[in-house]
Amino acid sequence: MLIKVNFMEHYLLNKQFELASAIKSRNKILIHKLVSDVLVSYNSLCYAVYKTLKNSDDKSSSNIQKKKKKKKNFQNLVDSLKCFVLNYDFYKIRCLNLYYLRNFIDCKDQFLHFHFLDIALQNLYSFIFFPFLESNLDKFTYGPRVFRSSIDAVKVLFLLGKQKKYSNYNKYLFCFAFNYTIVKCFDAVFNSWVLSNVSFIDKSILSFWVKNGFDNFYSGDQFFFQKKNFEINRGTSLIFLVIFNFVFMGMQFFLESSILSKFGFFSKFVLITDLNSVVILSSDLKTAKIVKSSLLIFFHSRGICQNFRDNSIVDFFCKNCENKNFVFCGITFHYKLIHGEYKFVLSPILEKIKNVKKKVLNLCKKFSKPLVLFDNIKPLMKSWFNSYKIIKNNYSFLKLSYWIVGKITKSIYLLYVNSNFERGKFGIRKGRRSGRLYKNIAAQVVKRLYFLKDQQRFFINTIEGKIIFKGFSVGLSKKNSIELKNFFSNSLKGKKFFATFGKNFF
């Protein structure tokens, strides 16, 4: 069963229309009320930022006049924040004027555009709508951070304006900061929470992003990977889409417990979001409707989705459904008649992934010689590549390639170490195995993985010539390092690629 609930878009649009009509009628009371509804969190957050930036002045025990001046400067900041309107075309929020923050940063030439700060605060504040950290929230803390608040992130935005090397990026400062700085502000506490509470999204991919510092961009159903740099990148940051899905996992646990306590039964469901709407995946209609009503109550209690349109909630349960397919977050859901009932099923690509994984597992268990295993894996991978070219689902292929590289490499490595197949070649002597043996084994494993050559999903460091395995690293000789560099494409030079192997790798 599947339900789609549009919440954030309609709330912002309604606020925009109400504010526009109030401005036309010059109703100052209504304008002040509408603006204060959205800015209720901005005031305390800006005051916290102001106190943080002026912490050195606070320590000085002199001058009551300085304190009065600070309050006046803070009031100017609040007044300027009230001069914005919600705009759907510009990330749903835009300032009417620009405000020079020379009172808050010790710089005469540099300044920040206030629409950039508004967007940053709006995105950071949106995390308060989710329940998994409500017990840890206070008036100066917003977002999924336990021991640190989003004040740190906003403070970084202020400090960016005083650095001369970013002066050319004032026009695009929002894109730069959110693709590089804000993502970096999420600390290890939040990352550990995500990795321990996510069940349906690949943990290894997020762990890979966190450890290696990749920027990820989402465009339609295409996933792109690019090393972090100081260039302005176009597109919406995928990390926020992933984090929002993780946050909705926290909401899912919250709803599961509340449904169990209220209705006395437990039924599994999944919430997926694209930052603008929510999809509820459930096994039966009863659970889906209960989850939908619980979500509406949850959103209403936080002041969003107050006025739903007729088409803001879409139910996909009618037998005469015109939409045979439904695409959401790059995943295609097919509406089919199964055992007399119309149900949504996942796209065939996911079923094919399950079959490929089963075959790979069987092959890894069946064969005891590395070369025989490679010979049997090749035709399986060729068939998978052919189907991938037709379907063109990069996300599914990425997850499968991660899993295959980890599984096959680990299996082959253990075969090389534990079997008698390579004893004569590497000259294994009794007792402790030498480091030279591990180097040769690592080189042989990487050489034989040539069927994934063009995908660049490997775990090598071409600078230091190391291969990272489970629990330890293997250093390669100069000769083997040169062979590795020739083996991979030139675009891999100077970049680090690591992989870890665990029980929950995929």
Domain ranges of the chain: 2-246, 349-492
Which long-range contacts link 322-327 to residues 24+ away (Cβ below 8 Å)? 326/2, 327/221
Instruction: Count Cα neighbours of 86 within 13 Å in the Cβ-side half-sphere.
Output: 25
CA distance 186 to 183: 6
Per-residue confidence in pLDDT tens, the chain, 506 aa = 344 444 333 444 455 556 556 655 656 566 556 555 544 433 333 344 344 334 434 444 444 445 455 444 444 433 433 332 222 222 222 222 222 222 233 333 333 333 333 333 333 333 322 222 222 333 333 333 333 333 344 344 444 444 444 444 333 333 333 333 333 333 333 444 344 443 333 444 444 434 433 333 333 222 333 333 322 232 233 333 444 444 454 455 556 666 666 665 555 566 655 445 566 666 566 777 777 777 666 555 544 444 444 344 444 444 444 556 655 545 556 666 656 665 555 555 556 666 777 777 777 777 666 667 667 776 776 666 666 555 554 445 545 655 665 666 666 656 655 554 444 444 444 444 555 555 555 555 555 444 333 333 333 343 444 443 333 333 444 444 444 444 333 333 343 333 332 222 22
Sole residue written with tokens 């004032």: 170
* Tokens (6 digits) for 188: 């290890």
In whole angstroms, what is the distance from residue 196 CA to residue 502 CA?
Answer: 13
Q: Which residues of 352-390 are buried (b: 16+ CB within 10 A; e: fewer)?
A: bbeebeeebeebbeebeebeebbebbeebbeebeeebee
